[in-house]
Amino acid sequence: MSSTAIQELVNQPYKHGFVTDIESDTAAKGLNEDTIRFISAKKNEPEWLLEFRLKAYRHWLTMTPPAWSNVKYPEIDFQNISYYSAPKSKKKLASMDEVDPELLKTFEKLGVPMNERAALAGVAVDVIFDSVSVATTYKQKLADVGIIFCSISEAVREHPELVRKYMGSVIPVGDNFYAALNSAVFTDGSFCYIPKGVKCPMELSTYFRINTQDSGQFERTLIVAEDGAQVSYLEGCTAPKFDTNQLHAAVVELVAMDNADIKYSTVQNWYAGDEKGVGGIYNFVTKRGLCKGVNSRISWTQVETGSAITWKYPSCVLRGDNSVGEFYSVALTNHYQQADTGTKMIHIGKNTRSTIVSKGISAGHSNNSYRGLVRIAPTATGARNYSQCDSMLIGDQCGANTFPYIEVRNPSGKVEHEATTSKIGEDQLFYFQSRGIGAEEAVSMIINGFCKDVFQQLPMEFAVEATKLLGLKLEGSVG
Amino acid sequence: MINSNARTLLDIRGLTATVAGVTILKGIDLTVRAGEVHAIMGPNGSGKSTLAKVLAGHPAYEVTGGTVLLEGKDLFALAAEDRARAGLFLGFQYPVEIPGVSNSSFLRLSYNTVQTGRGRDELDPLEFDDYVREKMKLLEMSPEFLDRSVNDGFSGGEKKRNEILQMAILEPRVSILDETDSGLDIDALRIVAGGVNKLLSADNACVLVTHYQRLLNYITPDYVHVMESGRIIKTGDKALALELESRGYDWLLDGGTSASAKAAA
Separation CA A445–CA A475 (nearest Å): 9
Q: List residues of B whose CB lies inside 8 A of any A CB.
A: 56-60, 79-81, 83-85, 89-90, 92, 95-96, 98-102, 104-106, 108-110, 112-114, 117, 125, 149, 166, 170
Residue B210 amino acid letter: T
| DSSP 8-state code for residue A89 | -
Termini Cα distance of chain B: 34
Give the closest-approach CA distance of B117 to chain A in angstroms.
9
Under an 8 A CB cutoff, do B98 and A476 touch? no
Write out residues in chain A with pLDDT < 70, as ranges: 1-25, 86-137, 208-216, 237-244, 461-479
Name the burial class of residue A82, with classes exposed (0-12), middle (13-18) and buried (19+) by CB atoms within 10 angstroms of its CB: buried
Strand partners, A158: none
- Of the residues A388, A392, A431, A451, the best mutation for testing chain B's interface (the one with the most B CB atoms within 10 Å of its CB) is A431
Q: Do B166 and A435 touch (CB under 8 A)?
A: yes
Q: Which residue of A has its CA nearest to B86?
A: A436
- ipTM metric: 0.93
Taking every pair of Cα atoms in chain B, the longest distance, rounded to a whole number of angstroms, is 60
Tell whether A4 is within 8 A of chain B (Cβ).
Answer: no
| Residues B254 and B228: beta-carbon distance below 8 Å | no
Q: Of all helices (H) and strands (E), which one includes residue A467?
A: helix A460-469
Instruction: Report the residue from A437, A449, A478 with minimal CB separation from B100.
Output: A449
- Residue pair B132/A451 in contact (Cβ under 8 Å)? The answer is no
Which is nearest to B129 in space by CA: B72, B169, B90, B99? B169
Asked if the Cβ–Cβ distance from B58 to A430 is below 8 Å, we say: yes
- Contact assessment for residue A24 and residue A88, using Cβ atoms and an 8 Å cutoff: yes
**Which positions in chain B touch A436 (Cβ < 8 Å)?**
81, 84-85, 110, 113-114, 117, 170
DSSP, residue by residue, A240-270: ---SSEEEE--EEEEEE-TT-EEEEEEEE--
Least CB–CB distance from B113: residue in A427, A437, A446: A437
**A11 at interface of B, judged by CB pairs closer than 8 A:** no
- Contact residues for A277 (Cβ-Cβ < 8 A; gap 6+): A308, A335, A336, A337, A365
* C-alpha angle A21-A93-A241 in degrees, rounded to nearest 5: 25
How does DSSP classify residue A360?
A: E
In a domain, A478, yes or no: no
User: What is the C-alpha separation between B130 and B148, in angstroms, rounded?
Assistant: 17
Which tens digit of pLDDT belongs to each residue from A399-447?
Answer: 899 999 999 999 999 999 999 888 887 888 899 999 999 987 888 888 8
Cα separation values, B2 from B37, B39, B40, B127, B208, Å: 9, 14, 17, 36, 16
How high is the pLDDT of residue A346? 98
Burial track A228-247 (b if 16+ CB lie within 10 A, e otherwise): bbbbbbbbbbbbbbbeebbb
SS3 category, A177: helix
Determine whether the interchain pair A449/B170 forms a contact, defined as Cβ–Cβ distance below 8 Å: no
Specify whether the CB–CB gap between A279 and A245 falls below 8 A. Answer: yes
Tell me how far apart the alpha carbons of residues A183 and A39 are, in angstroms, rounded to a whole number. 12
Domain boundaries in chain B? 8-264
* Model pLDDT, residue A236: 75
* CA atoms within a 13 Å half-sphere pointing along the CA-CB vector of A258: 3
CB distance from A422 to chain B under 8 Å?
A: yes
| Helix and strand counts by DSSP (H, E) for chain B | 8, 12
The answer to whether the CB atoms of A476 and B109 lie below 8 A apart is yes
pLDDT of residue A121: 43
pLDDT of residue B243: 92
For chain B, the average pLDDT equals: 92
Q: Which residues of chain B have pLDDT under 50?
A: 256-265
Interface test with A, best of B53, B98, B170 (most A CBs within 10 A): B98
CB A188 within 8 A of CB A128: yes
pLDDT at site A132? 57
- Distance, CA of A400 to chain centre: 21
Region of A327 on the Ramachandran plot (φ > 0 left; ψ -120 to 50 alpha; else beta) = beta
Three-class SS state of B54:
helix
Q: Which residue of A has its CA nearest to B90?
A: A434
Q: Report yes or no on A303 lying in a domain.
A: yes
Q: Is residue A477 in a domain?
A: no
Cα separation, B205 vs B1, whole angstroms: 10
Residue A475 inside a domain? The answer is: no
pLDDT (0 to 100) of residue A469: 64
> For residue A375, what are the domain limits?
2-469
pTM for the full model?
0.78
**Helices and strands in chain A, H and E counts:** 12, 23
Alpha carbon of residue B235 to chain centroid:
18
Sign of the CA dihedral running A91, A95, A96, A97: negative
**Cα–Cα dist A216/A219, whole Å:** 10
Per CATH, the number for B8-264 is 3.40.50.300
Q: Are A286 and A254 in contact (CB under 8 A)?
A: no
Tell me A161's DSSP state: H
Evaluate whether A351 touches A322 at the Cβ level (below 8 Å). yes
| Residues of B with Cβ-Cβ distance to A2 under 8 angstroms | 59
Flag whether A249 is in a domain.
yes
Burial track A329-345 (b if 16+ CB lie within 10 A, e otherwise): bbbbbbbbbbbbbbbbb
Q: How far is CA A149 from the centre of its chain?
A: 18
CA distances from A262 to A124, A296, A334, A356, A463 (A): 16, 8, 31, 16, 18
Residue type, A382: G
Residue in B59, B83, B92 closest to A2 by CB: B59
pLDDT at A467: 67
Measure the CA–CA gap between A225 and A295, rounded to whole angstroms.
13
pLDDT at B60: 92
Q: Is A346 inside a domain boundary? A: yes
Instruction: In whole angstroms, give the CA distance from residue A344 to residue A476.
Output: 36
Q: What is the pLDDT of residue A3?
A: 46
- Burial class, A219, CB count within 10 angstroms (exposed 0-12 / middle 13-18 / buried 19+): buried
Say if residues A281 and A270 touch (Cβ distance below 8 Å).
yes
DSSP for A41-83? Answer: HHTT--HHHHHHHHHHHHHHHT------SS---PPP-GGGSBS
Q: What is the CA radius of gyration of chain A?
A: 22
Rounded to the nearest angstrom, the minimum Cα separation between B99 and chain A is 7
Is A258 contained in some domain?
yes
The number of folded domains in chain A is 1
